[in-house]
Structure 1
Amino acid sequence: MRGGVALSVNGLAADLNVSDETIRRELRILEEQGAIIREHGGARLAAPVYEGPLVQRMEEHADAKLRIARAAAEFVPDGAILFIDSGTTSCYVARQLVDRRSLTVITNSLQVANDLGSINNNRLFLAAGQMDPDYRAFSDHTAQAYVAGFTPHLAILSVGAISLDRGLMDYHPGEAAMSRIAYATSEKVLLGADSSKFGRYGLMHTAALTDVDLLVTEAPLDEEFARAFDHAEVVIA
C-alpha cells in the first residue's frame, strides 16, 4: 500500500499466504487505528495529516470556513460572554463579529484578540504564557489555568478531526487541553468544522460528539454522522 495505492484483499492474502478472512480481520484493526482507509475489496494507506502554521492553515478550505463563520456569527448577540479558541475556523468566526457590541471575549489567540479587542466597548481577556509561534496562541499550563477560571455563555471551538468511534480530536497537546477546558466550563459549545474534518483521526481525544450543542458545517452530514449528532442543533452553512 505504498504511496496510497490500494491493494486488494485477495492480492494481500496470496502474497502473505493467509486466508482472505485473516486479511479482512487485520485490515479492520488497522482501520480502527487510523492507519488505513478501507475500500471495496481492499484498502490503502491513510494520508498523513499535519497542521502547519496559522497563516498556511487559514488558507486551507477558506471558502468553507467563511461560510461556517457567517452562519456561526448569527448565534452571537451583543453582550455575549464568549470563549473563542485559536483554531482557524474560530478565527474566521471572530472576524464576523467585528460589528457586535459589548462582547466579553476570552481567548488564547492573538489573532482573535487583535480582531475583537479594543472595539465596540468589548472586554477582552487574553490568556498568556509561552506563545506558540505556529498557532500565534498561548496554550501552556499558565494559559490553561487562566482560561479555566471563566464560565462563558458560549464557547466557539474548532477541531482537528472528528471520528465516529473516537469523538473529537486535535493534533496539539495544549490546544486539545484548551478544548477540554472549554467543554467543561462553557454553558453551550458551538463547534465549527468543515467537511474535511469528518472521518479523520487526530493525535489526542478532546471531547465526545455528544458534548457538542451546536454544530456548524458547510456540507450535509452523511447518514452515520447525522445520527451521531442527532442530539445537537446542526446548521449547514
Structure 2
Amino acid sequence: MLGKNRKSEILHIAQIEGTIRVEDLARRFGVAEQTIRRDLAQLSDTGQLERVHGGAVVSSGAGNLDYVQRRNRNTEGKARIGRECAGSIPNGATVFINIGTTTEAVAHELLTHKDLLVVTNSLNTANILAANPDIEIVVAGGSLRRTDGGLLGNLTTQVVDLFKFDHSIISCAGIDADLDLLDFDFQEVRATKSIIRQSKSTFVVADSSKMLRSAPGRIGNLADTDILFTDATLPDGMMQKARALGTSINVVQP
C-alpha cells in the first residue's frame, strides 16, 4: 500500500477506534514499526492526530466528532462498559444518565432492571429505556441539540436540581493528563456539574478514545467521581494519579 493511502487508512481507523497503537498498525499493514511512526508523525504535524506513548489519538483540535461517528466508534468496548456499569446499578435506584453514546450503551443494559427512576437529558436514552415498563423515565427538558438528541439549558439544570440521585452515569468528550473531565459544549459542562452535585455517587463511562483528549470546557476532576468504567488500561501516569485520588478504575477487558 502506498504511503498516502496508508496514512488515509490509519486516520480512518483512528476515527473509528479512537486510540491506535504502533505495534497493531505495523502488524495490520505488514510494515516496520518505524514506518508507522513516520506516518503518525506526519499526521500529527498536520494536526489530524495527536501522538501519545506507543501510538496516537484523534486530534482534539478539530472539535468533537459528529454523533454518528461517535456512535459507530468502538462499539464492542462501549458494550462491555455498558454491561459492567449497569451491573453496579441496583433495582429500585434513582439514576441520572447524561448525553453520550457510551451512556446509551449503559441504557441498553438497564432494560432488564426493575423499579428504576431514571432522569435523563438525552432523548436517545429516554427512547431506549421506554422499552422497559418497569422504568419510570423523567426527561430533563431544555433546548434540543439536534445533532445528538441532547437537551441543555436553564430548564435542564432546574430539573436536575429537583432530584437527589443514588447514582449518576456520565460521559464526557475527554479526560486529560490531569484527570480533568472535559467537554466542548459549555451548556453541557454546566449541566454535568449539576448532575454530579446532586448525586450520592457518580460513575464515569469513557472508552479508550477519551483518554488524553482535550476540550475547552472543564466539568471537574476524576476525584469528584467514584468509579471510572473504561475498556483499556489507562495511559502511562493516569492510573497512578487516579489511584492516588482514591477513584476506583474498572477496566473491562474483552
Same fold (TM over 0.5): yes
- Structure 1 pair 89/37, CA: closer, same or farther in 2 (3 Å)? same
Which residue, out of 45, 62, 74, partners 1:61?
74
Alpha-carbon distance between aligned partners in 1 of 2:205 and 2:52, rounded to the nearest angstrom: 27
* TM-superposition CA deviations, 1:71-120 (whole Å, max 9, x none): 11110111111000011110110011101011100100111111113623
Are 1:235 and 2:246 counterparts? no
Say whether residues 1:176 and 2:189 are aligned partners. Answer: yes
Q: Distance in 1 between matches of 2:60 and 2:224?
A: 28
Q: Distance in 2 between matches of 1:83 and 1:109?
A: 10
User: Structure 1 stretches (4+) deviating beyond 3 angstroms?
Assistant: 35-39
Aligned to 1:77: 90
Match of 1:194 in 2: 207
**Percent same amino acid among aligned pairs?**
26
- Equivalent residue number for residue 120 of structure 1: 133
* TM-score normalised to structure 2 length: 0.74
| Distance in 2, Cα, partners of 1:49 & 1:225 | 24
Of 203, 210, 225, 2:216 maps to: 203
- 1:157 alignment partner in structure 2: 170
Distance change (3 Å), C-alpha of 1:194 and 1:49: farther
**Are the equivalent residues in 1 in contact too, given 2:179–2:238 (CA < 8 A)?**
no
State the TM-score, normalized to the length of structure 1.
Answer: 0.79
Residues matched between the structures, number: 205
Give the superposed CA RMSD: 2.5
**Which residue in 1 is equivalent to 2:13?**
none
- Which one-letter code corresponds to 1:232 in the other structure? T
> Unaligned regions of 5+ residues in structure 2, if any?
1-40
Aligned letter for 2:211? Answer: F
SS of structure 1 residue aligned to 2:128: helix
Q: For residues 220 and 166 of structure 1, do their structure 2 counterparts lie closer, same or farther at Cα, with a shift above 3 Å needed?
A: closer
- Aligned partners of 1:4 and 1:47 also within 8 Å: no
Distance 2:45 2:202 in 1: 39
